[in-house]
Structure 1
Amino acid sequence: MIPSAGLPSILQRVTRSLLVMALLWALLMAGVVRQVVHHEVDELMDQSLRESAEILHSVIAVLHQQGLDQAMAQVHSEYEEHLVWQVVERQTGALVAQSHKAPAQALLLTLDAEPRDTPDGLWRVVSFGFQNDPGHFLLVAQSEEERVEARAEAESYTLIATLLMGLLVTLLLNLLVRRELKPLARLSKAVQACDPLQPETLPQSPERAELVPMLQAIRDLGRRLAQRISSERAFTTHAAHALRTPLAGIDAQLAIALKEAPDSLRPRLTRTREAATRLSRVMQALLTMFRSGSEPQRQLIDVADLLPTQAFGELQIDIQAERSVSGDPDLLAAVLFNLLDNAQRHQARQVQLSVTQADGMNRLRLQDDGEGCLPEKLQSLRAALARQDYGADGSSKGLGLVLADLVVRAHGGHMTLPAVEAGFCVELSWPDA
């Protein structure tokens, strides 16, 4: 299985991009809206200030003419506390009358009908003169605090609405992206379940136009794999018939020659027969390893029945099998033959073979007393087998380990190479069917 940890996800990348775009859009809109709201609110409040000032001027002008503006200032009627007025003497700047919450000093000493800020920046002021009294004028002011509060409320409400709208759009786009990625997920499941040797299991019509090239490539790959598997099966069948019979004939002829040969030739004939036997085992292992497309034919196996111990001459094999295990007898026999052959070639004299079964797992442990393996080489073998590096670069030499790893993987298990004090050890673990 290809590891997915650490790989970027299309969905996560698209979702993150949408979220970033939504936030940037919201910030941009907030900046634009802030400028617009700031200008429009100021314009509206200036207009309201002028209108309020004109109304107050109309009333106070009459009262001022009648000398009643002082009496009006003493009436504490309810009004907007951030809007105040003052009647100022033009020459001295003294206050003639004022609203009860207005500052005690004149806010401005000049007459100007256009709204402007006071020097301290705390008030926005409009001033009007009296037609019948040029020595006095009316100031109507609105506090800057009220104006800032109004702008802040308008901007915050707009910003919140913009952010909520952006998040809502992001959520909707995320849902749409998830929906559009579902055909790709279904195609992945279909590819995972397909068998190149069964064309009807190959993915059929695509759900999206973008998946058409991918689907065509998968179908072409499936056809090529099916042709390759068929060719390998044909080769395996032909090789099994073409090689097994001559090798068996050679072994039979050597057995007869050993009986009839003089004592001086028997050691050479014995070594020749051992080499032929080893060649037969290697050939059988290779054919088994390349038996493409076939699942393990599981059955209950007594491991002791798989090993004719006399085939390994002086190598002593101590078998400790608690019970039968589930597996393919042909594949496991080929594995054991090659592992024992490896042990014999590395000067082993005794092999401990233990077979256990517990918690639905079959375990086979084979340990010899041969030359063993240096820690650095053992670590290199482990790494090569973990990544299934069976190349000819020397990282995983030996047919026995390669075949054992392939067979145990075909059974859904794994192989480990434990560190031992002496010799070499191989452990195979695979689940029941």
Structure 2
Amino acid sequence: MRHSARDWSLRTRLLLIAGIASLATLLAGGGAMYWAAAKEDDRLLDSRLQDLARTVLSFSEHEITEIIGEGRTEMVHTETAATLGSRYRYQIWTRHGTLLLHSYLASSGQPMMPLRQLGFSTQKFDDDEFRVFAMAGNGGEMVIQVAECLDERESPIGVVSLYFLAFLVLPISLIFAITWWMLRRSLRSIDSSAAQLSARSPIDLTPVVTDNPPVELRPMINSINSLFERINRTLSLERGFTAVAAHELRTPLAGLRAQAQIAATASSPEELAQSLALVMSGVDRASHLLDQLLDLARMESAASEAERHRKSVDVTHMFETVLADLGALVHRRQLRIESEFQEPRIVAMELGMLLLLRNLLGNAFRYTPDGGRVVISTQREGAEIALTIDDSGPGIPADSRERVFERFERLGARGGDGVGLGMSIVQSVVVAHHAIIRLLESPLGGLRVQVRFPATDT
């Protein structure tokens, strides 16, 4: 089952990343600020509750003294509702547990926390939680307990938090606006590159030019320009190859037409036979050229799948096959052919090995003089297997050896049935197999061609 890829925007995704990161940062910072503010607020409120206890105790001692001086028998005294309001309440006890004074909302039956416990505590009564502070007074004879409702204490913090969240809208909006503007400027080079590529013609392979692209985009632009350069170079080679191939085909065809005209107007059987022989020779040359072009095209098309088609190839069998095809040339030249295959098998493409041996041996047989000698051998040298072909021909000057790999290059040779594509085919085989080819002086006096294949144990 195929799933279609959903379109997505890099600009939108980057904006979302920046927005989410900024929002998370602001919320985390706001949370930390809220926690710190709440802690500080609790400390300040506890300090205020402590001051309130001291103040109430100071005034209450005087009032209790007046009550005792008036000779009242009932010591419990209740303050009015307006004394502290609903937020605070207090109780004053003797150290023996007798209630002396309490606020309007405070209980008259039991203390808000154990009388032995002093300091701060959180207690729950009347279904509400209170922050309670207790301290001793009058030389330890009295204990005052002051309580503050936590709901009323926390409500101002909640209001401040709502204001803080409301004010977050402004910085988040600014962050989104600034990020969007910066992204548009930063990604402008992508839009420029896309516009250049979409507007150019299929044959326009000039480099993509962008004004001050970001560092992250430069590798992609450089890769595209490098690809264009390679395509342009390949197309230039193909155009040159096509032009030269057309020229090379035109020459034998023109010769065939001329010899056919001569044969058509021959005045004697001898002239007719000579013209027909030249026609046959031209046909053979054109046929050989077409075969070479087809071999080159087949090898170049198969090079991309060389790894998949490799297997252990019997070099001895390949050599015998090529020798059977070129046997007539060997017999006519009376050549001495020697072979020594210390490594009879090489991991390679069958097609590639066949084309390599056919062209290398074909060149050796053609350029070795009558009665000459050609030696082919294989041997393992470390991590490589060397295929070596020596001949006793004229050889190739050292400064001209690189030129033989150029297409249709014959180093000034005239006549014969060569077309200058054999070594180009050999080079394509070498490249497809990640091998190395070297042209050297041969011990036989002619040329040594050595192809070194990576050794692969099978």
Q: TM-score, normalised by structure 1?
A: 0.45
Q: TM-score, normalised by structure 2?
A: 0.42
